[in-house]
A and B are shown apart, each in its own frame.
Chain A
Amino acid sequence: MANGILEIKAISGHAGPVPGRDTSRDYDVCKYIDVTTCIGCKACEVACLEWNGYPFRDTVFDNTYQTMPDTAWNYYNLIRFNEHVDEDGTLKWLMRKDGCMHCADPGCLRACPSDGAIVQYANGIVDFNQEHCIGCQYCVTGCPFNIPKLNPETKKVHKCTLCSDRVSAGLEPACIKACPTGCLHFGSKDDMKDQAEKRAKQLREHTSHKSAGVYDPAGVGGTHVIYVLHDIEHPEHYGGLPKDPRVPLLVRIWKGPLKWLGNLAMAAGILGVAAHYIRFGPKGEGEDPKEGEK
């Protein structure tokens, strides 16, 4: 994997053994989004369209700074704009880059019935293989973030790939490359988490955002896209970011106990009737009535 370059081999001007030699860095990749420095310029939206080769869609003007109401099958990346008034009357313009979170425990992958349609790479990227997609949209049902979207013409589901093609070539995702304020970062999960925590601490200590924090929800095993939010207590202010996202309970029941109990019951049913046949055998066909008998 291209991220093998993160393993230290030699360093300059250093006496003695090379620290970190032969140890692997964490290969998990991560996109870190600092919403506090996002200006809502939409450069990431355009870069995403350009890299993925999608035409620009019709926009919907709804008196906000948001390009359109929702992400779409050919629009992976949307800056959500929300005006929020704090209790003390402060008006906040909240911009959040919305897209696939690349969960460590992806609900889409759990729900998908089609062999090979969704893969999770060792570096954390969750990717859809449209050639194996059957269009059932179980992934839509499994996702706690409302990310996968159906192309109604091809009946294939699409979402952000975290530019798996660019990343495997050692490049950063297209949105990262385009961001002019540096609110988008890309690197290993450990590094990004570290940077994000430092930034959140800085916000808490030096600004009025006393409850700033890092959004890396544990309910889905952590995500490979993390946010620094002004107010970690209220992620829902940022256009419906769930506070404690999980793979939905019914999806876990459906893909867990219901599956193996059902399989067990069907196998037991077939074995049961076979055992019954061996024990009791077929019924007799009866006898014809004799003269004068009903």
Chain B
Amino acid sequence: MSRMIQRYSFSERLMHWLTALTYTYCFCTGLAFYTPYLFWLAVILGGGPTSRFWHPIVGVAFFLIALWMHSVWGPDMKLTETDKRWLDRSKDYASNNDGVLPPQERFNGGQKVFYWVMYCGAFFLLLSGIFIWFPEYISFSLAWVRQTMIVIHEIAALVTIGGFIIHVYMSVFFVPGSVEGMTTGFVPIRWARAHHKLWYIRMTGGEAPSKE
């Protein structure tokens, strides 16, 4: 049994799962409005009018939690030279050829890119979403604003959905131990060494742990 090291504090886990919950709700109701083949999602989530009522409100909640997340993780998410080198070799990461990758800090280049996609996406979705929320206040002569905002909202949503699919796949299937890290807050030492060596050394001083 490998020794454990704390990766996420309680508040970090809380904010992560709150964004996950609010994003997933908006994802499901948004898909319902997006395509008739998925309108049943709105039906099982309480009906079309209910989904229409809550989607923007939960969306604003997602945005506010994303701001909170940014105040906590923002500094950790700056892309560094090492990240760029890692991203250049992301093909090796995807094909499990991890030996050639530069060691990574607390978050690797891919995680940071995902973070910025979602964080910027939140701004685009909120700004365009406000116009779609209250179309009755936009005069007919400004109809193009309504039309443009819907298109921006959908493109921004599709981009974040791309990130979301990859994020869920990687954490649940591709990198075992990630979900446990985000639920319990702890990861095994060996996991930290394998995936985030620089962070591991910073946290432990690189000392080999004493056997317990």
Which residues of chain A have a CB within 8 Å of any CB of chain B? 113-115, 132-138, 140-141, 146, 150, 152, 155, 248, 250-251, 253-254, 258-259, 262-263, 265-266, 269-270, 273, 276-277, 280-294
Contacts and interface: CB of A to CB of B under 8 A. Distances in A.
Interface of B: 2-3, 32-37, 39, 42, 48-49, 51-53, 94-96, 98, 132, 135-136, 140, 143-144, 146-148, 150-151, 154-155, 158, 161-162, 165-166, 169, 173-177, 188-191, 193-195, 201, 206, 208-209
29 contacts: A113-B32, A113-B39, A114-B39, A134-B42, A135-B53, A140-B135, A146-B143, A155-B49, A155-B52, A155-B53, A248-B143, A250-B151, A258-B154, A259-B34, A262-B158, A265-B158, A269-B161, A269-B162, A273-B173, A276-B94, A281-B96, A282-B176, A283-B96, A285-B188, A285-B190, A285-B194, A286-B193, A289-B189, A291-B208
Contacts of B150: 138, 141, 250-251, 254
Contact of B162 (A263, A265, A281, A287): A265
B174 to A, nearest CB: 6
Contact of A277 (B36, B169, B189): B169
Contacts of B94: 276, 280
B51 A113 contact: no
Nearest to B166: A273
A134 B34 CA distance: 14
A115 B173 contact: no
A273 B165 contact: yes
Given A135-B52, A273-B165, A280-B95, A287 B147 contact: no
Nearest to B169: A273
A150 B150 CA distance: 18
